[in-house]
Amino acid sequence: MPARGAVTLFHVRGIRIGIDYSWFFVLFLIIFVLSDSYRSVLDRSDGDALPYVLAVASALAFFASILLHELGHAFVALRRGIGISDITLWMFGGVARMTKDSDSPGTEFKVAIAGPLVTLGLAIAFTAAGVVADGWDQAWNAMPFQVPEHTTAFLAVTTWLASINVLILVFNLIPAFPLDGGRVARAIAWKVTGDRNRATRGAARLGQGFSYLFIGLGLIGFVRGDLIDGIWLALIGFILLQSARGAVIQTEFTSRIEGIRVADVMDDEPVAIPEDASVERALDEFFLRYRWPWFPVVDATQRFLGLIERGAADAVPEVSRTSSTVSDVFEADSTGTLRVRDDAPLESLLGNDALSRLGALMAVDEDGHLRGVVTADQVGRTLRRALSSTGDGASPGQPGV
């Protein structure tokens, strides 16, 4: 998986879009291979810059297609109440990091299938563009890059982009977890069995099987002299194997805390600041008294609204602290990433980015009223007790299987 220290490009609806350093290697490789292919297809001389320009444009459009694929996942996840911390492009495609796991088979299916549907739409759009520009016969014949003449630069680019998106679609629909197809398979198994852990375990086993297949095919290709494709396929298989093994380990781990809810571990007497309290009161009665870096903010009915941090309160000029209210300076939880349902399973907090970053989450009921605060320390203590109670001394990294 890509490292978190990626270069930030821009933000889309609050989602950080970045590129891992490995992305530059693949960008160069695609440009190198495509420039030679375009030169051959368009019958251009070695000194002609057009094939190189087309290769650069195609490579960037390819990664744009990957980004749109990941944004498809992200936008559906956001609509289903799942936050997205970032999307990172790297040497094997893209990764959208969700702040929490899906809470139902339906959500899992919709989030998983969204990316492939975007890719399918892109493949159709590029194919249609080629057909409109040069006719169906030329577009069809150009797909394998073997047209000796009468091929335009536009047709060459659109047919390659259509072909690569079809390849992305087919690859992602392979039922190998954590690929999209594997997540779809998990959603179906989860719906049928009613057991997320069992469904994840089965999808991960499928992922392991396909990873061994990819590694084997890669080694065969390498031995036969197809060095680049062989190494690439073997590396993909290795990455899939590691991800699938991680999913198996996590299911073994979460099965030991099954039945524990957020309400079982949270502090059910949270200290919250009313939204209509003055900034001066917030500083005097809360920050100076408790010495905490932040507090939850609630309305008159105790509905959780967001957080106010000490720095935001201190930034208000002293002369304005009496007239300014907490509602003027607090951070609203518009995406729902700072809260968790009090009846949610404890396992839903594993890998939660907001919990790791903030150190705590606000536990709310179904109507959004603040019922407690669950901290990372409380979760950690509960997990350690659950593991020690099994009596086998296993750890999350070494399950007793």
Residue 302 pLDDT: 94
Tokens 């398979």 found at? 185
Residues present in the chain in total: 401
Report the amino acid identity of residue 184. V
Shared-domain flag, residues 24 and 127: yes
pTM over 0.85, yes/no: no
Shared-domain flag, residues 284 and 158: no
Last residue within a domain, chosen from 237, 257, 277: 257
Given a cut of 70, the residues of the chain with pLDDT beneath it are 1-5, 134-150, 253, 387, 389-401
Is residue 401, in this structure, part of any structural domain at all?
Answer: no
Burial class (CB in 10 A: 0-12, 13-18, 19+), 380: exposed
Residue 334 pLDDT: 82
Q: Is 286 within 8 Å of 399 (Cβ atoms)?
A: no
Q: Could you read off the pLDDT of 249-305 as tens digits, one per residue? A: 777 767 777 778 899 999 999 999 999 999 999 999 999 999 999 999 999 999 999
CA 356 to chain centre: 16
Is residue 143, in this structure, part of any structural domain at all?
Answer: yes
CA 13 to chain centre: 15
Shared-domain flag, residues 95 and 211: yes
Shared-domain flag, residues 65 and 197: yes
Is residue 400, in this structure, part of any structural domain at all?
Answer: no
CA 240 to chain centre: 16
Shared-domain flag, residues 49 and 78: yes
Shared-domain flag, residues 227 and 278: no
Last residue within a domain, chosen from 207, 223, 257: 257
Is residue 83, in this structure, part of any structural domain at all?
Answer: yes
Residue 355 tokens read as 């919990």
Residue 393 pLDDT: 38
Shared-domain flag, residues 274 and 148: no
Residue 55 tokens read as 């290769």
Last residue within a domain, chosen from 257, 274, 296: 257
Is residue 395, in this structure, part of any structural domain at all?
Answer: no
Residue 137 pLDDT: 58
Shared-domain flag, residues 323 and 237: no
Report d(CA 65, CA 71) in Å as an integer: 10
Is residue 396, in this structure, part of any structural domain at all?
Answer: no
Residue 262 pLDDT: 92
Shared-domain flag, residues 281 and 219: no
Residue 45 pLDDT: 83
Shared-domain flag, residues 28 and 139: yes
User: What domain range is 277 assigned to?
Assistant: 262-388
Other Cβ atoms within 10 Å of 301 Cβ, number: 9
Shared-domain flag, residues 238 and 298: no
Shared-domain flag, residues 251 and 268: no
Count of domains forming the chain: 2
Is residue 2, in this structure, part of any structural domain at all?
Answer: no
Is residue 147, in this structure, part of any structural domain at all?
Answer: yes
CATH at residue 288: 3.10.580.10
Report d(CA 309, CA 294) in Å as an integer: 4
